[in-house]
Structure 1
């Protein structure tokens, strides 16, 4: 497979690797982007890269909690200018309120909103606002208590990152702190038990290859059983502590894990949602001058 400059640039942007390293990684893996990322990590040339870090589309996330139920909704726009528009913000707020009684995204699109469906309302807003708008996704969370938080708030309940956290037990105030922690750290899962098995297997493969390669290059190689029984399990333990919510150090009090902090507050975390605007969507890069020129025809 031919390796293009655009592919090299994409890999460099997502991993921070040098140009020649990125090109070699793609060449060694026949252009497979994910395999190239793993190759770079094995060589110690890249950070752990998440697809979700490639934030692209503009818009807003709306969150609302009613009783023991919380919902988060993402509505995308083409530019950040529209996200600051009062009409667009009202649209997102209305969609979020409607989502409380909708079971899924399709039900939300069909829900009544002042005599029109949400989908019809969105179509009308495209004509009024003058940009392509997308109702991309929604998520629902229930528990004895549900807390919410929006980061980079544009208005009450609207922001660039929306978080919901569900708890078993009465929320004495820790709920918002937990939600803020989730916004800041972006955990991959609640616990090891809920983490994607394929993701765990992939990480184990990367850490195993990395440890074996480092040992081969070491001046005094360690016995194989030390690599297998100590180093690799230790690295996987660190990975889980950094990427599972319950295992992370609590940002409010790093001496405690999130699980310990919740327990001290008398609650058990049963689930969370972290929704960031545009995560996972590739965005075509365009300089500001070109964007202004485009807007002016």
Structure 2
């Protein structure tokens, strides 16, 4: 396949953009079907005129169907979509980039999803699906029985898309509440994921970023919360997102002077409460009742 991809790029490079555009259309329709043309154009940031010519072509090929409710992907279209996925990855050089990151970061596996997750919600859902598939594979390989999950849109997509039958697995929130939309909080995501895995779950009813003094008081007085925290800190698998430092700092309602200081000191990303610079060095750490970076092996 690599030779074919390289030949196409050299001889007919204009076909690459066209193929990727049609792939994006099929993928978007598949995720939101039935969908109208105007709504689809908005999702893909395409003019209706450009979109019309492409969907008419795909309909003529038998890959899309029209109805009064909107467009849908046909059975043949779904088959083509699945076959195209890996080819598009090759065209965009994602497999090579995955290998580069795997070696550079010294990790076992990297999966890159094509698209812009900030502009296309379908991409975030695809990331969620990939995360769900990876987690199920780990559970099937008996890599762990306690799964801790953080909050956020990507993890919400993973929870919604995951399926399995693991009655011996326990799903727990990695952290306390963040003040986000209820559907995006770790407690909610842990519950949804557990139900879709036919697993059990525990919830942590402690606000995020409480002071150590308050946290110690809660743990001393509430044996139930203490037991949940102990389970969380002994999780076998942690599923979490990585956010932009400035965005996550505002989500956590950090004071503006502190946010300004974090950015001045080079904080670019946040994960598990730790704000890090571009080299991965800690700039700041928020306190919480769940997992913290020093809890990880």
TM-score normalised to structure 1 length: 0.23
Q: Which has the higher helix share?
A: 2
TM-score normalised to structure 2 length: 0.23
Q: Which has the higher strand share?
A: 1
